[in-house]
Amino acid sequence: MGADHFHFTVDGTEVEATEGQSVIEACDTAGIYIPRLCYHPDLEPDGSCRVCTCKIDGRNSAACVTPAAHGMVVENATPQLTDDRRTLIEMLFVEGDHPCPYCVASGDCELQALGYRLGMTAPTQPYQRPGRKIDATHPDIYLDHDRCILCSRCIRASRMEDGKTVFGFEGRGIAMRLNIDAEGGLGETQMAAIDKAASVCPVACIVIKRESYRIPNGSRRFDSAPIGSDIEARRKGRPA
């Protein structure tokens, strides 16, 4: 073990981490899954969805923006955190419009998969029905704003990975929306279907045209195993 390695515990299990890792990164490496939504391993963490909130040294903090530190005590899979996370997923379900049975992303949607994993059946909160408009101005991509969960992945990817800054936010509070860097919609931007920003959407807000049913329902990412299974398969001493 090098000098920059240290340990902390997650629900009593010892996890090894290196200097500069966040709690979620260290846990991913160790094969411990912390539910998350706005976090994406290729992007700067944002800490906005709050799904990865853990009790860290007695205080609730988002695991994606909390640097791992020696001796930290992290609570992750407690009944209360699972309840709170499920409530957050429910909030996102009712804030936008997420009709899983006829959504193109069904089976490949992280929001839906988290709903299953966290034990959500139907939302208990009232649907807000935002009624946002679809943007189909781009030849290869369409934006279904009612599906947007404001995770900012596309904003970060477009700015940092693609160097295009196609996306941003507009407004505040419950009126906050994904905004496009052109008056006339996505078709007027430099966005391309091969951009990182087009591939990081966790739901069906950014959809590549003519690709949607290449993989049929039933054969998709989360149809066979719950979200997070890939991470948990890394855990030592566990059958993959």
Partner 1 sequence: MTRDVPSVVEGFVKDVAADRSRLLDIVEAVQHRFGHVDDEAVQAIATGLGLHRVEVEDMLSFYAFFDRAPRGRSRIRLSKTPISFMKGAHAVAHAFEAALGIAMGGTTADGAFTLQWTSDIGMADQEPSALINGVILTGLTPEDVPDILATLTKSSAGGPAPHALLPKATVRPGLVQPGAILTGPFAAADGTRAAIALSPDRVIEEITASKLRGRGGAGFPTGMKWRFTRKAVGHDHYVVCNADEGEPGTFKDRVLLSEFPDLVFDGMTVAGYALGARHGLVYLRGEYAYLWDHLQHVLKTRRAQGLLGDRVCGRDGFDFDIRIQLGAGAYICGEESALLESLEGKRGAPRDRPPFPTERGYLQQPTAIDNVETFACAARIMAKGAAWFTGYGTTESSGTKLMSVSGDCARPGVYEVPFGITVNALLDLVGAADAAFVQMSGPSGQAVAPKDFGRRIAYEDLSTGGSTMIFGPQRDVLAVALQFTDFFVDESCGYCTPCRVGTTLLKQGMEKIVAGRATLGDIAAIEALAQTVARMSRCGLGQTAPNPILTTLQNFPELYEARLSPAAFEPLVTLHDALREAVEVQGREPVSEEA
Question: What residues make contact with partner 1 under the rule CB under 8 A?
Answer: 47-51, 53, 60, 62, 65, 67, 83-84, 87-88, 91-92, 94-95, 124-126, 128, 149-150, 165-176, 179-183
Cβ of residue 235: shortest distance to partner 1, in angstroms?
Answer: 26
Question: Shortest distance, CB of residue 170 to partner 1, whole angstroms?
Answer: 5
Nearer to partner 1, 30 or 89 (CB): 89
Do the Cβ atoms of 36 and 85 come closer than 8 Å? no
Distance CA 76, CA 223 (A): 25
Beta carbon nearer to partner 1, 2 or 131: 131
Beta-carbon contacts of residue 65 (< 8 Å; ≥ 6 apart): 22, 45, 46, 47
Handedness of CA 30, 33, 39, 42 (dihedral sign): positive
C-beta closer to partner 1: residue 67 or 225: 67
In the complex, minimum distance from the CB of residue 80 to partner 1, in angstroms, rounded to a whole number: 8
Q: Which residue has the tokens 């209360």?
A: 80
CB of 232 vs partner 1, minimal distance in Å: 23
State how far Cα 172 lies from the chain centre. Answer: 20
Evaluate whether 205 touches 95 at the Cβ level (below 8 Å). no
Number of helices and strands (H, E) in the chain?
7, 10
CB-based contacts of 19, cutoff 8 Å, min separation 6: 4, 6
Nearer to partner 1, 94 or 208 (CB): 94
Q: Which is nearer to partner 1, 62 or 105 (CB)?
A: 62
Minimum distance, C-beta of residue 223 to partner 1, in the bound complex (Å): 26
